[in-house]
Structure 1
């Protein structure tokens, strides 16, 4: 029975390109027109996979690839995931899978319930992995968020620097301003604001590894008096800040906590304060997180829709002074990360094992292709308590950057 349902599932789904599937029985079947997407051949080595793929494609395919129970001709993971995402985006789910998808969305509040204790465990799952792992694919500043490719052909290092300075311009930083960096990572953003803009930075993280490295970097850079990093939750911070920045952290807040998050921002901002929230987003209605991503990569994580984010912002009487949408910048960032990871695969294997390396490669590549072929983008929300806190046009963002570019060209 499940083989027949699996066959109907693929007949519905694969219209562009071609997918050739060899079942454990040895039977081979092809799906798709052969046009408009890659042609890929896979082999299933587990009799339970047809049922598991129908019930939960993300989880079943991801785990089977990690375990070697699903193999791809030529190990063409890029072609396979591109084929799948192009068709999923075009066709949607067949009717017999829609109730399962509706159930996933209905249960998302339970999956994303992230009180402080659970948030700490979620963060440790991903960010307290070996520091050597992140050295294998990130830039030297360890920017683990979308870079800003303001010019074609930029290196990863240059585009990550461009991202930080673009954000700093949006924050209208002046020397001596008190800045809160929520989800400070390994300290790169906070150290840039302290060193290059004269800010007094307090960074917070729930990762013990990030906390230790950020403070060590501040000491080594002679910035410990202007940049301090705390191991604490945003809900436990008090005081007033002229500026608040949060890069790549909002994805971990969880839908049930959006109101609390933006209420905290409003309470922490001075009356003239400005905040900049940089987050992965979805250019479609609210949905749910891939169960494979939840289990293996980001437990408690969720990519928000603009509608649900702005609803929470509005309820806390914050003024949305600017919204910018970055398209494909994260695809390019992830492409750089994947290339570096694959170049260092032997070192990654020495840290962990083959299964981990397949998992990490699957994560980076699936993420890249979701930005290329599906609906993921990056949102930057500039927020204030007073609409007069920022200029009335965007000119201020580009004057200095444009002048620097012209000077470099000369």
Structure 2
């Protein structure tokens, strides 16, 4: 416990962390101010070394396995909030600094995503039971950041706002041919087909998501105009008036951004428009949390804008607009977590308690990353021609207001 204590004394600059070791002895680490207080118990001596060398992985893993529990009203949210507010104390430790340097040096290996590996990575997360996802997503099963006109919007309202916002930017009109790269369970593609007489080709690597999306298209009577294909975006061919990607760039990998923008540009008609919506970071290039990389999104990464603009420039595609959404994903994850916790028993019946603890840890850590960390959402409008969109942004608001009036 001595080794771990040296890290925790340096780590806790604000609040108090109380740790019962595996033998029941209490260790207290206090910052200024001393509140809030979080009390946890370690049930395995092997955690002393594991947590010293890689706390970002083994805290979550220990919680999943029941080897780290909480005392006196503390919760995993409280621990992660304490962690988030003391992040600099952890990253400044020499051992943690070396660890992060090692992770950065391995980024291209961790995010090397040829088609075969991308298929495996997508299946790891997205081929879970759709019944599981229905426990916490909105009715349309949107699994990307919503758009809150007000923090008190319902999740359903905010996800509808997001679809309107995206389509307002793209100026969706009758007769258009649209490609969607990474379509989830099909909600955006189906929405576009409902607001205009368009033909949509949507691709995705998740077999389960494609299956559900096709069922939904049949039920809505638009299967003749909305085609869901199980393929990698790099395999899609043709020319389209609009190309949209919401929540897929995070899975492309840092070594594949030139490839992504090259394909994106090749799919766009000369007068076409595209939109990319992705998690990003308001910070220099970094790495993925080892817990997220191992258990949640293997091969995933939220890029800095500097990592995105350079390959876009190399492919000579116009970034006609860039919008940063700061707290919208925090509100989205707040609502997902509330619904997940309310349906914990149902989720455990589908999988097990360990799976529930893993998802609780993931949702909370992601939520706090958008509140106290560097995570944000960016939306780019892309075009082959500089005048493909109006010269002022008023058209976006005008289109959104018109969409709300016709709803």
Band of TM-score, shorter chain: over 0.9
> How many equivalent residue pairs?
406
- Does the 8 Å CA contact 2:319/2:381 hold for their aligned counterparts? yes
Cα distance in 2 for residues equivalent to 1:339 and 1:194: 31
Matches of 1:64 and 1:402 in 2, distance apart?
48
**What is the alpha-carbon distance in structure 1 between the residues aligned to residue 279 and residue 235 of structure 2?**
24
Q: Distance in 1 between matches of 2:34 and 2:103?
A: 30
The 5 Å alignment of 1:214-363 reads 214-363=213-362
Is residue 9 of structure 2 the alignment partner of residue 8 of structure 1? no
Pair 403,130 (structure 1): closer, same or farther in 2 beyond 3 Å: closer
Instruction: Return the offset for 1:35.
Output: 2.1
Task: Please state how far the C-alpha of 1:6 moved relative to its aligned partner.
Answer: 1.5
| CA positional deviation for 1:172 | 1.5
Aligned partner of residue 86 in structure 2, secondary structure: helix
The 5 Å alignment of 1:68-79 reads: 68-73=66-71, 74-79=73-78
Aligned mate of 1:27, from 25, 28, 51? 25
Name the counterpart of 2:86: 87
Aligned equivalents of 2:96 and 2:334: distance in 1? 31
Cα 1:136–1:89 change in 2 (3 A) is farther
| Equivalent pair of 2:168/2:400 in contact (CA under 8 Å) | no
Contact 2:22 2:45 in 1 (8 A): yes
Looking at structure 2, the residues matched to 324 and 397 of structure 1 have their Cα atoms a distance apart, in angstroms, of 12
Q: Name the SS of the counterpart of 2:122 in structure 1.
A: helix
Contact 1:18 1:32 in 2 (8 A): yes
Shift of 1:234: 0.9
Shift in Å at residue 226 of structure 1? 1.3
Does 1:46 pair with 2:44?
Answer: yes
Which residue of 52, 56, 60 corresponds with 1:62? Answer: 60
Match in the other structure for 1:166: 165
Matched residue SS, 1:397: helix
Q: Provide the rounded CA distance (Å) in 2 between the counterparts of 1:340 and 1:225.
A: 34
Residue-by-residue CA offset, 1:263-317 (whole Å, 9 max, x unaligned): 0001111111111000011110111111111111111111111110111111100
CA shift at 1:400, angstroms?
3.9
**Alignment partner of 1:398 is 2:397:** yes
Q: Is the 8 A contact 1:279 1:380 kept in 2?
A: yes
Q: Tell me: CA distance 1:7–1:36, structure 2 relative to 1, closer, same or farther (3 Å).
A: closer
* Runs of 5+ consecutive residues of structure 1 not aligned to the other structure: none
Distance 1:177 1:403 in 2: 19
In the TM superposition, what is the alpha-carbon distance from 1:33 to its structure 2 partner?
2.4
TM-score (norm 2): 0.96
Distance in 1 (CA, whole Å) between partners of 2:2 and 2:217 is: 60
Deviation at 1:95, TM superposition (A): 2.2
**Structure 2 CA distance for aligned equivalents of residues 109 and 60 of structure 1:** 23
CA contact (8 A) 1:38 1:82 kept: no
Q: Could you list the runs of 5+ residues in structure 2 that have no partner in the other structure?
A: none
How far is 1:89 from its partner? 4.7
Q: Distance in 1 between matches of 2:114 and 2:88?
A: 33
What is the alpha-carbon distance in structure 1 between the residues aligned to residue 329 and residue 109 of structure 2?
Answer: 28
Corresponding residue for residue 197 of structure 1:
196
What is the CA-CA distance between 1:405 and the residue it aligns to?
Answer: 6.6
TM-superposed deviation, 1:77: 1.2
Are the aligned partners of 1:279 and 1:378 in contact in 2 as well (CA < 8 Å)? Answer: yes
Superposition RMSD in Å: 1.6
Partners of 1:407 and 1:242 in 2: CA distance: 24
SS in 1 for 2:242: strand
**Do 2:168 and 2:399's aligned partners in 1 also have CA atoms closer than 8 Å?**
no
Aligned to 2:132: 133
State how far apart, in whole Å, the 2-side matches of 1:57 and 1:110 are. 22
Matched, 1:212 2:208: no
Question: Relative to 1, partners in 2 of residues 1:36 and 1:115: Cα closer, same or farther, differing over 3 Å?
Answer: farther
How far is 1:34 from its partner?
Answer: 5.1
